[in-house]
Structure 1
Amino acid sequence: MISKLGFLLLLGCIGCVLLFFTFIERDLRSQISKTILIHSQRTYEMMGESSGNTRIIIEPSCNATFLIWIVTSYAGDPSTRSALRRAYIDEELQTLGIERVFLLGKLNDDAKRRTHVSQEALLDESRRFSDILQGDFLDTYRNLTYKHLMGLRWAMNNCKHVKYIMKMDDDIVVNIYGLLEKLHTGIIEKNSLAGYVMKNMTPIREPANKWYVSKAEYADNIYPDFVSGWLYITNSQVASKLINYAESYKYFWIDDVFVTGILRKVLYIKIQDISKIFTTDYRYLECCIKGKINLLKCEFLIGPNGGDAELQVKFRKFAKFCHANCFIRAENNLVGKTCVVAYKEPKLHKGVFQINPIKIL
């Protein structure tokens, strides 16, 4: 009887030991999994009242040789990122010497429920495409400056040998072939920010407005000249100046005003107006696409998607074909002079600013 009891006790002890090791192994696997998921988690310092550094949650590598293309994107809207990826696939961008990286923040629980996009989904997206840069801050309009500076800082630290940095919003359509052609001809001035120049813009002082700016946030009655955050081009030297100065400067949430206006002015960085290649109405891009039938190029290389992410894909097909097969339009046959559309008030900064109306026939 004692021998049998001892044997049972021995079996019980062995079972406990095996159970203990099972739990230890499971815990180790969990820790390893977490370490892999939060890969390359670089700490740049947490952000306070300044516009300084932020912690990186997801970080890609940089393989660009000519242009680093950073794109501000809302974490909860993968459709615009998908359209850009389908328009310009990664293999083609590599051939062109371009690296494209999407800049994201974090979604809170409410945003996750509304968009059905979880952090796990973003991690999976990063594993599949290796083009996500995510910072440890909420993905909101009020944090756009953090996102913008995070992208410039990453490009500056990881892509030091590229010639150009291009910052773009993800709802902007671009003819990358035409833009590269202009870059290779030296259209961009050294040590400058080149884009759609905005002048004499005033803060919105109406508290009920989504884009309300208080006197405490910005005391002056007019913003410095700046380039629209739709798309601008610069280099790592300029980005370095902006980043270094921003780290000790009071935070201002309208990112293009802050980065390319306030900081630029203090640092005496030039702005270069290349607005001739922009259109503020997406329907001009649709008119450009129709010109393919007559083998006519488009003078516009950049414009909004008008809420249609697929316009990016359509315009890229037109741009690819016409880059090799179409002819430059005559002055009297430019899209801006011949496109017939109903007038709509342009909103270059998603409702923040108004610009002079453009003439549409």
Structure 2
Amino acid sequence: MIIVGTIREHRNKREAFLCPVKKKMSRTQRMRFFTVFGAVIIIMLMYKFSLAKEILSRTQEYSVTGLPMRHQIKQNVTNKINSSTINNHGSNRSIYLEGNKSFQSLLAVSNQLTESSGIEDIKTILRNQLIEMKKFSSSIQTLSGPSALPVLRELAMKLYEPGHLNEEIDIQKICMHRGLSLRLLILITSAQSNFKERMSIRRTWMNYGSRQIVGMAFILGRTTNASLNESLNKENNIYGDMIRGHFIDSYFNLTLKTISMLEWADTHCPNVKFILKTDDDMFINVPKLLDFIDARYKNDRTIYGRLVEDWKPIRNRTSKYFVPYKLYNGWQYPPFTTGPAYLLTGDIVHELYVQSLNTYYIQLEDVFITGFVAKRLKIRREHANEFLNSRISLRPCKIRNAISVHKIKPREQYHLWRDLLDSTIKCK
């Protein structure tokens, strides 16, 4: 539409433009040329605006959820919140200005084309505009700041900030004497806003954490939301069971959350025999898990869980499991155990932590830790039928034969806990 309007406004100039073309082209050739030429301009216009829209949406998402980036923990939380907000607004403004600039350049190109004197002039104009498009594509990534996934392949150590906020947690309650007498440590990854999920677990199967042979805690990141941060501080002052890392808590940082879990266990509980990694929407049958451990107590260098083989990367951008070629270009993942729950022997925790930092980052934590990292370390991954990691019928006898059940709502935790302990329920 811009091209048509411009040509109508410059009717006299059009004749001067067409005259040299008529000498070199037939009418059919001119029609084909202008058809292709118009399509090129439209594609250029659509490309620039779609790219700017995508980048703007990503920066807006960043300001809400928080995405992978390194943070220097030198100032207090308030200063981090303020600086983060300022940086995000600055990035958005820069992208807006760059997008507006590109729009103006398209109008300029349209004017240049109507004033050009021949085919070579048109070729030069289009060539220059394509160069400008490439510059815009590269600069827009720089202006956008941290994105949902790393722009290029990055080692995890470049995205991970070591350390934890340990002031408010009871380390001795979670792992007494660095795990010397501990048979099992259960670490539960939790979203910061999932207070109901954490409370339902505390009041049900987390009661086994009061036994000297079992330790339990939640794993979280940090937030730029001041009110939520204050709420988490109060919750941890009461329960002392929330281990918080320095990474921004978001879906795309699940790998950083698991690395944070490994770092804490390696630092504060290096002698524990087994560690279960699980999520806050899981029901864990702790008695069944302890029986499972007893049968394998002498085993080492192994990860137990629901083993997946021949799983191919998902390239559909609309999927939550999307992994772009720039992060991993293989045609399938190595065998891995699915993330809702898997069991590690304690002797591999240090190796997993160190090697994870030296492995290229992807946001699928189970593929990353139990797939790529474990494969490089030659750690066994064994399938265990008791790890269901899926939603099943919640009948008491079904639950008693499973170690891990997925997608459990907070109110359902209480029902499953009651049925698990009800001695009047008999199962064959």
TM (norm. structure 2) is: 0.58
Match of 2:271 among 134, 144, 161: 161
Report the Cα distance in structure 2 between the residues aligned to 1:75 and 1:128, rounded to whole angstroms: 16
Distance 1:89 1:232, change over 3 A: closer
The aligned residue for residue 299 of structure 1 is 401
The aligned residue for residue 75 of structure 1 is 192
Q: Are the equivalent residues in 2 in contact too, given 1:197–1:275 (CA < 8 A)?
A: no
Q: Are the equivalent residues in 2 in contact too, given 1:102–1:132 (CA < 8 A)?
A: yes
Distance 1:310 1:94, change over 3 A: same
CA drift of 1:187 comes to 6.8
- Does the residue aligned with 1:167 lie in a helix, a strand or coil? strand
Distance 1:119 1:93, change over 3 A: same
1:277-313 superposed Cα distances (whole Å, 9 cap, x missing partner): 426223x2x222xx5xxxx98322321134x122222
1:225-267 superposed Cα distances (whole Å, 9 cap, x missing partner): 1001111111222111111111222211110000000111111
CA drift of 1:57 comes to 4.4
Match of 2:210 among 74, 89, 94: 94
Match of 1:106 among 197, 202, 222: 222
Report the Cα distance in structure 1 between the residues aligned to 2:198 and 2:262, rounded to whole angstroms: 19
Q: Are the equivalent residues in 1 in contact too, given 2:188–2:279 (CA < 8 A)?
A: yes
CA drift of 1:181 comes to 1.9
CA drift of 1:188 comes to 7.9
Cα RMSD after superposing both structures: 2.4
- Does the residue aligned with 2:339 lie in a helix, a strand or coil? strand
Report the Cα distance in structure 1 between the residues aligned to 2:297 and 2:241, rounded to whole angstroms: 28
Report the Cα distance in structure 2 between the residues aligned to 1:209 and 1:215, rounded to whole angstroms: 14
The aligned residue for residue 51 of structure 1 is 156
Q: Are the equivalent residues in 1 in contact too, given 2:341–2:387 (CA < 8 A)?
A: no
Distance 1:233 1:277, change over 3 A: closer
Q: Are the equivalent residues in 1 in contact too, given 2:308–2:337 (CA < 8 A)?
A: yes
The aligned residue for residue 3 of structure 1 is none
1:38-59 superposed Cα distances (whole Å, 9 cap, x missing partner): xxxxxxxxxx942235243422
| Aligned positions of 1:242-281 closer than 5 A | 242-278=352-388, 280-281=390-391
CA drift of 1:93 comes to 1.7
Identity of aligned residues (%): 23
Report the Cα distance in structure 1 between the residues aligned to 2:239 and 2:204, rounded to whole angstroms: 14
Match of 1:317 among 394, 415, 418: 418
- Size of the aligned set, in residue pairs, is 266
CA drift of 1:327 comes to 5.2
Distance 1:278 1:145, change over 3 A: same
- Does the residue aligned with 1:183 lie in a helix, a strand or coil? helix
Which residue identity is paired with 1:287?
Answer: R
Match of 2:317 among 197, 200, 207: 207
Distance 1:247 1:214, change over 3 A: same
Report the Cα distance in structure 2 between the residues aligned to 1:101 and 1:230, rounded to whole angstroms: 16
The structure with more helix, counted as a fraction of residues: 2
1:82-134 superposed Cα distances (whole Å, 9 cap, x missing partner): 111010355x423252111111112334xx7xxxx611111111111111111
- Does the residue aligned with 1:281 lie in a helix, a strand or coil? coil
The aligned residue for residue 148 of structure 1 is 258
- Does the residue aligned with 1:196 lie in a helix, a strand or coil? strand
Distance 1:277 1:212, change over 3 A: closer
